[in-house]
Structure 1
Amino acid sequence: MSLEVVSQSRCFGGTQFVYRHASTETGTPMRVAVYVPPQAEHGKVPVVWFLSGLTCTEENFTVKAGAQRVAAELGLILVAPDTSPRGEGVPDDPGGAYDFGLGAGFYVDATEAPWSKNYRMRSYIERELPAIVAEHLPADMGRQGITGHSMGGHGAITIALRNPGRFKAVSAFAPIASPLNCPWGEKALSGYLGPDRAAWRDYDSCALIEDGARLSDLLVDQGAADGFLESQLKPGLLEAACAEAGIPLTLRRQEGYDHSYFFIATFIEDHLRWHAERLGV
């Protein structure tokens, strides 16, 4: 599988790339942003995945989070995929809503028509893209971390729970803690997977933990002034699931912070240092 360079820019001694490639999972071209730090000139370095939230592309984190400076210091590759398939013929929400369809892949493998043909973001993130990163980039795939925001925080935690041992560090910003128990999740999972709620459990952090999945530890930052806090995100459900399972959770409720990238930019350094410590940097 080849990677086409869409753009590249020197940044803090490393290089910020945007790549495009043909995806066999989604059946579409996919774009992914990759920051390669200066340390990669001398050998393979650890990789941290960032999964973005609703409406986002690979660009949001890359442009708004300000993560490259710290990644350059620590020697971390940052991989920021798109959030859904795109292109001619890819179905979108019939009503044009922001929380389903394009930009809202929810990191699931859809089983319902017409979504099942293209919306295979679980397999894309878990299998296809890691193989491409391993083949084409100076990434030490034995030292991986994963994080994400909102829908992407849900994606990061569930992917880590389903792939025990793959990620040595896991964190999230304002994750959708339990899609089984919020309007965003109920709309997405019913649309992509159908009405059988048992099939949804593979895509719910709390349900996966209840069913026996484990993490060594977890860092979550949540803005206390987040407008989605009570209706959609519900970090207390994740807190309770981790407590019951004995998973060490550092849940920081940040007073005055909302759901925006200003919140992410404020705490991204803490998260990257959390990852670096666990990745042996």
Structure 2
Amino acid sequence: MTANPFTLLESHACCGGEVRFLSHQSRELGLPARVNLFLPESAVAGAAVPAVYCLAGLTCDQDTFLIKSNAIRYAAAHGLALIAPDTSPRGADVAGEDEAYDLGTAAGYYLDATADPWAAHYRMGSYIRKELPALMEAHFPLKAGCRGIMGHSMGGMGALAIALGDASAWQTVSAFAPISAPARVEWGQKVTKAYFGGYEAEWGQYDPCLLLAAGKTHPGPLLVDQGTDDEFLDRLRPDLLEEAAAKAGQALMLRRHKGYDHSYWFVQSFVKDHLAHHAKGLL
């Protein structure tokens, strides 16, 4: 086994298991990266367990999902590990990357930029899809290839796109208030201009609705929760996801919740169901 590339920054006992704050040098990003890991009690004792990757949204980082979602207590009950990566590279020194909340720092969209100056470091797609799972499974007690993925908002978009893009690598998937059709909304159009140099066709790899339209489906059902009072509803477009799934023959459990907004109070309210969904498919 190769040397462990991770540096342990902090560890905390939690829900019978352990939360570890880690850093490592990423090959894909070309920069140091942060990732947080929850190991349930059995994994702390050395038993290999399935893992669910947790992708946060715009303005967030590797701390957000595990701290705010209340997911750890339910992962612990099911014996699942949780892995929470950052939402973008940090310290890329791209001009303007800190000027807006929806582009650049904390807005990596879980894709690989193809246009300069973003292309050198903004490679969260390959980082999440390839590099991070291989490293985590090589150096922690995780079952190889036994993975689920979930996310909120931009992270929900990433979770759906990653699972649809390579269903054999991700056995389960769920999302809270995902950006369902990024190529068709303001956030995604900003990405097209910057990360893709205006080349709209690049969205075919990352837009959940475009993936479904291209015949990319997942054998398991997609679990998606959406609040009806979400202030970003016109940019999330769950209606388009519902339409695309129906046309593709993709099983979709899209649950709309009256009175709920876009916050982590919404995520906390239904995260128990999401961990049960992942446990059913992974255990």
Q: How does 1:111-190 map to 2 (within 5 A)?
A: 111-190=114-193
Match of 1:198 among 201, 205, 209: 201
Deviation at 1:97, TM superposition (A): 0.8
Deviation at 1:93, TM superposition (A): 3.3
**Structure 1: gaps spanning 5 or more residues:** none
SS in 1 for 2:51: strand
RMSD of equivalent CA atoms? 1.2
Q: Which range moves more in the overlay, 195-204 or 239-248?
A: 195-204
Match of residue 82 from structure 2: 78
Residues 243-262 of structure 1, C-alpha deviations (whole Å, 9 max, x = no match): 01111100000111111111
Residues 224-253 of structure 1, C-alpha deviations (whole Å, 9 max, x = no match): 1000002x1000000000001111100000
Match of residue 221 from structure 1: 225
Work out whether residues 97 and 105 of structure 2, in 8 Å CA contact, stay in contact via their aligned partners in 1. no
Q: Counterparts of 1:228 and 1:17 in 2: how far apart (Å)?
A: 32
Q: Counterparts of 1:53 and 1:60 in 2: how far apart (Å)?
A: 9
Residues 104-131 of structure 1, C-alpha deviations (whole Å, 9 max, x = no match): 0011111111101110001100111011
Match of residue 235 from structure 1: 238
Q: Which range moves more in the overlay, 185-194 or 143-152?
A: 185-194
SS in 2 for 1:193: coil
Deviation at 1:90, TM superposition (A): 2.7
Match of residue 45 from structure 1: 49
Q: Scaled by the length of structure 1, what TM-score is found?
A: 0.96
Work out whether residues 92 and 102 of structure 1, in 8 Å CA contact, stay in contact via their aligned partners in 2. no
Match of residue 210 from structure 1: 213
Work out whether residues 151 and 176 of structure 2, in 8 Å CA contact, stay in contact via their aligned partners in 1. yes
SS in 2 for 1:221: strand
Deviation at 1:92, TM superposition (A): 5.5
Work out whether residues 90 and 118 of structure 1, in 8 Å CA contact, stay in contact via their aligned partners in 2. no
Work out whether residues 145 and 170 of structure 1, in 8 Å CA contact, stay in contact via their aligned partners in 2. yes
Deviation at 1:164, TM superposition (A): 2.1
- 1:275 equivalenced with 2:278 (yes/no): yes
Q: Counterparts of 2:204 and 2:95 in 1: how far apart (Å)?
A: 24
Q: Which range moves more in the overlay, 236-245 or 189-198?
A: 189-198
Deviation at 1:94, TM superposition (A): 5.5
Residues 172-210 of structure 1, C-alpha deviations (whole Å, 9 max, x = no match): 000000011100111113210121211221111111111
- 1:57 equivalenced with 2:61 (yes/no): yes
Aligned residue pairs: how many?
278
Work out whether residues 46 and 141 of structure 2, in 8 Å CA contact, stay in contact via their aligned partners in 1. no
Q: Counterparts of 1:134 and 1:152 in 2: how far apart (Å)?
A: 21
Work out whether residues 192 and 199 of structure 2, in 8 Å CA contact, stay in contact via their aligned partners in 1. no
Work out whether residues 147 and 172 of structure 1, in 8 Å CA contact, stay in contact via their aligned partners in 2. yes
**Runs of 4+ deviating beyond 2 Å:** 92-95
Q: Scaled by the length of structure 2, what TM-score is found?
A: 0.96
SS in 1 for 2:119: helix
Aligned-pair identity (%): 47
Deviation at 1:95, TM superposition (A): 7.1
Match of residue 69 from structure 1: 73
Match of residue 18 from structure 2: 15
Work out whether residues 144 and 168 of structure 1, in 8 Å CA contact, stay in contact via their aligned partners in 2. yes
Q: Counterparts of 1:237 and 1:69 in 2: how far apart (Å)?
A: 33
